[in-house]
Amino acid sequence: MMKQSAWRQMTEPGFWAGVLVVLCTLSVGADVHQALKTPSMLSKVLQRHKRDWKWDKLYVHEEMPPKHPPEKIGKLENTYFTPSARYNLSGDGANKIFTVNDNGDILVHAKLDREEKSIYRLTASLFNVDSKKQLDQDDSFVIVVLDINDNSPVFPPDISGSISESSRAGSVVMSVKATDADDPTTQNGMVGYKLLNGTDLFSINYNGEIRTLTSSLDREKQSQYLIAIQAKDMPGVNQRGNSATTIVTVNINDINDNIATFKSREYRFNVKEDSEPGYQIGVLAVEDKDEIQNKDPTFTIHKFGEVFDIKQSNTKDGALSLKVPLDYETLKAYVFSVNVDEHTVSKSPDNRGPNLLTRAQVVINVIDVDEPPVFSQTLYNFSIYEGPFKNPIIGAVSAKDPDATAYKIRYSIEDPNCPVVVDPVQGHLSLKKQLDREEESSYTIQVTAHEDVPNGLKSYAKVNLTVLDINDNAPVLTNGNGVYVCESDKPGTIIGTVGAHDKDENSGRFRFTLAKKSSNFSLTDNRDNTASIKLKQGGFSTEHSVEHVLEIEIADGGTPEQKSTERLTIKVCMCQAERQVEYCMAYAQTGMSVSAILAILLCIVTILVIVILMVLRRRYQKEVLVTKSSGEIHEQLVRYDEEGGGEMDTNGYDVSILSSACNDGSFRPATGPSLYAVVKKPSACKGDMAMMIEVKKDEADHDRDGIPYDTLHIYGYEGSESLAGSLSSLDSSSSGSNLDYDFLHEWGPRFRTLAQLYGVDGSDTDSSD
Ligand SMILES: *[C@@H]1O[C@H](CO)[C@@H](O)[C@H](O)[C@H]1NC(C)=O
Ligand SMILES: *[C@@H]1O[C@H](CO)[C@@H](O)[C@H](O)[C@H]1NC(C)=O
Ligand SMILES: *[C@@H]1O[C@H](CO)[C@@H](O)[C@H](O)[C@H]1NC(C)=O
Ligand SMILES: *[C@@H]1O[C@H](CO)[C@@H](O)[C@H](O)[C@H]1NC(C)=O
Ligand SMILES: *[C@@H]1O[C@H](CO)[C@@H](O)[C@H](O)[C@H]1NC(C)=O
């Protein structure tokens, strides 16, 4: 069978909306799709062989309410159709929206919406109702939903655009676009635009492009326009179609088209005379209708441009500032004029007119301030020679009160260590003491000037005092250590080079000469502030400890010339090749080291002696402790205590007993105040050791508990005031030579044998130990 195509003209009630060509084909699936998507294929009649299907009227209008009975939109036909054959549908909406009856009629059961689904793809099959056997191959077909104008154009929300003021006519402001859901290939989906107002300023074309109609848009007059725009489908067809309106905001952007003008004809400011340079005096307010970023005024100052400066402020006004300090006493007021100019991109009509203030007068009143004294210089620079001076005056400072009051000024130097004093009235600076450049070569002195009134203002000046040099220092030798003579040195060898140093500055050239001729060395002045020492004859040996001293006279060449004679000790050394020192015999240093060694030895000996003495002392104390009972020690202590009182201590002694003993010469060892006192008496009176020894002996013989003989040494400490007199061997020599050696007992146990040898009773000493 041949495949057929169908043409159908679609009509909306009342008018021809257009012609829709629908191709119905009997073809294999893919080809059908292709055919429908490609408009050029629509008019083509496609022919297929071996196909026995036939389609008819396969399109349906959208938005049609379902009818009863359902509307037939087409018919399936197949050459294999028999009364026992049945059609079946499958695919989009099959058996729900679209059904097929036994005759092959396709019925629609629902209202369709093209904007929801515009094409339904279905497959038809034919089978035997009894055997369910398929009678022909399945075939696909489409049902096209035809559009009606059921949607209105829709604008996006909040549309706005902008254009600079004074833009030329025809400039594009913005584009608007409304969308319509209907088929865009038909009038139903096409949109046209129209301005509802503002048509004197703007226009809109069919694309929705808004343009200006005038170049006189002025932000300063109106910065924003709201214009109403209508969008309508079915453009070109009046009274038909759906429409929508929106309000579009058109902002007018600012450009610099207005000039700046002064807000006032005169500006007045007061400025204190002590204001610092850079001080912001004030602002000359300026009028400029443009937005701040488009204001660009420039200012010109017509007089006193060296004193004042005017610049654009942050607010684009004129900021007036001070360039130099003012002085009320010089000028009390400044009057000058200032111009404001502005280069504008385009001229606003407002820029013309006789009343525009582009020039203003500025009046600055200087306010008087009490000012501190002003020195004639902030830094004074004086110099004076070091050393003794004839005239102590260095120079003078001067300061004045700049105010009209003109107070007297007094000068002072606050630093008490300053070597300079200032005359409080005249400002003369003079030296307090002699200066030494080599100690301190310059001084910075602060001089104070203050108004000679209570609470007067102060100011300060610096005085830089440079101490000038005089040649007052003699040169000294340098490099002396590098001069030595080697045993192997041949005559003529330069054995070293010496230099000189002088604390004074710029002391010319040093001159070197030998103060004393030397048979062994010669000296050559190198005329470059050094001198070389040359060997005249060899034969030096480290074995001969002879000191080689060269006396060199150095003159510093200054005025007055200063000279010094320096002793250069030359070492004799043992050297290797190229005068490399191996060992030196340095006399001066050897002498030094000998004395050092001696000193060290002396120290060691002293320390040794001290150590030995300490050891001995310890041993002695130990023996005493070991050999004496604690009771005896106690006794000894008691006696030492009493001894402090001497003769005058009547508590410790019974002086009457003592006196009586002296008077009658007799002594009874009876019940004395103390054993000690009793023991003393005889010797005290007679001055005779024999007497005392006798008493002592008796006592020892009769009283075994008495004091040991050793304690006789107590008498030795009685002192000159003692009635007992001296115990010295000279005085007591007459009483027997065997008693002269009592002091041996004082010397401790080590001298016991000696004491025994010199006449002390052996039995007594034995018992005491
Ligand atoms: C018709 O087609 C539908 C879907 O393809 C299927 O479910 C149904 O069984 C078919 N009817 C017959 C009688 O073959
Ligand atoms: C246009 O109409 C809108 C709405 O009525 C109004 O807000 C707007 O100001 C008008 N614009 C002009 C330029 O007249
Ligand atoms: C100060 O005086 C010294 C010597 O009198 C001079 O060398 C120096 O340049 C002077 N300095 C100033 C700052 O005047
Ligand atoms: C003072 O004078 C000396 C010598 O001219 C100079 O080196 C020094 O910088 C000066 N000091 C001041 C503070 O000017
Ligand atoms: C010169 O050197 C010799 C040793 O070499 C010495 O004996 C003599 O005293 C020296 N002469 C002088 C003037 O130092």
Per-residue model confidence as pLDDT tens digits over 315-373: 999 999 999 999 898 999 999 999 999 988 877 777 777 778 899 999 999 998 888 89
Pocket test for ligand 4, best of 378, 381, 447, 465 (most atoms within 8 A of CB): 381
Residue 723 lies in a domain: yes
The CA distance from 352 to 350, in Å, is: 5
Residue 615 lies in a domain: no
Using 50, 70 and 90 to split pLDDT, how confident is the model at 684? very low
Residue 616 lies in a domain: no
Residue 491 sits in the same domain as residue 542? yes
Model confidence over 129-166: pLDDT tens digits?
888 888 888 888 999 999 999 999 999 999 999 999 99
Pocket test for ligand 1, best of 90, 99, 102 (most atoms within 8 A of CB): 90
Pocket test for ligand 3, best of 377, 381, 444, 464 (most atoms within 8 A of CB): 381
Q: Return the residue whose CA atom lies nearest to atom 5 of ligand 3.
A: 383
Residue 115 sits in the same domain as residue 57? yes
Distance 547 CA to ligand 5 centre (A): 8
Average pLDDT across the chain, whole number:
78
Characterize the bridge pairing of strands 458-468 and 379-385.
parallel
Q: CB-based contacts of 151: which residues, under 8 Å, 6+ apart?
A: 115, 180, 181, 182, 188, 189, 233, 242
CB distance 222 to ligand 2 below 6 Å: no
**Listed residues 93, 118, 146: the one ending a domain:** 146
Long-range contacts of 233-237 (CB under 8 A, 24+ apart): 233/149, 233/151, 233/152, 233/153, 233/180, 233/182, 233/187, 233/188, 233/189, 233/190, 233/191, 233/192, 234/149, 234/187, 234/188, 234/190, 235/187, 235/190, 235/191, 235/192, 235/206, 236/187, 236/192, 237/187
| Average pLDDT over every residue of 671-676 | 44
pLDDT value of residue 542: 81
Residue 284 sits in the same domain as residue 330? yes
Residue 247 sits in the same domain as residue 270? no
Among all ligands shown, which has an atom nearest to the Cα of 548? 5
**Listed residues 441, 468, 495: the one ending a domain:** 468
Distance 386 CA to ligand 3 centre (A): 17
CB distance 383 to ligand 3 below 6 Å: yes
Using 50, 70 and 90 to split pLDDT, how confident is the model at 573? confident
CB distance 96 to ligand 1 below 6 Å: no
Task: Look up the CATH number of the domain holding residue 577.
Answer: 2.60.40.60
pLDDT value of residue 707: 55
CB distance 381 to ligand 3 below 6 Å: yes
Residue 24 sits in the same domain as residue 133? yes
Residue 240 sits in the same domain as residue 180? yes
pLDDT value of residue 574: 87
Residue 621 lies in a domain: no
CB distance 134 to ligand 1 below 6 Å: no
Residue 609 lies in a domain: no
For the CA of 225, the closest atom of ligand 2 is 13
Pocket test for ligand 5, best of 489, 518, 548 (most atoms within 8 A of CB): 548
CA 121, distance to chain mean position in Å, is 80
Q: Return the residue whose CA atom lies nearest to atom 11 of ligand 1.
A: 88
Residue 315 sits in the same domain as residue 435? no
The CA distance from 328 to 152, in Å, is: 82
pLDDT value of residue 747: 72
Distance 251 CA to ligand 2 centre (A): 14
DSSP 610: H
For the CA of 540, the closest atom of ligand 5 is 5
Residue 567 sits in the same domain as residue 442? no
Count of domains in the chain? 6
User: For the CA atoms of 98, 100, 101, 105, what is the dihedral angle to 10 degrees?
Assistant: 100
Residue 34 lies in a domain: yes
CB distance 248 to ligand 2 below 6 Å: no
Among all ligands shown, which has an atom nearest to the Cα of 545? 5
Residue 108 sits in the same domain as residue 12? yes
**Listed residues 323, 344, 367: the one ending a domain:** 367
Model confidence over 495-506: pLDDT tens digits?
999 999 988 886
Residue 492 sits in the same domain as residue 445? no
Domain that holds residue 757: 634-768
DSSP 134-161: EEEEEEEEEEEEEP-S----BPPSS-EE
Pocket test for ligand 1, best of 76, 88, 100, 102 (most atoms within 8 A of CB): 88
Residue 204 near residue 210, CB atoms below 8 Å:
yes
Q: The pTM is what?
A: 0.47
Residue 509 sits in the same domain as residue 401? no
Q: Return the residue whose CA atom lies nearest to atom 12 of ligand 3.
A: 381
Model confidence over 8-39: pLDDT tens digits?
333 333 333 332 323 223 333 333 344 343 33
Residue 17 lies in a domain: yes
Long-range contacts of 354-360 (CB under 8 A, 24+ apart): 356/259, 356/261, 357/261, 357/262, 357/263, 357/264, 357/265, 358/259, 358/260, 358/261, 358/262, 359/262, 360/262, 360/264, 360/265, 360/266, 360/267, 360/284
Residue 600 lies in a domain: no
Distance 121 CA to ligand 1 centre (A): 16
Residue 45 sits in the same domain as residue 165? no
Residue 194 has pLDDT above 90, yes or no: yes
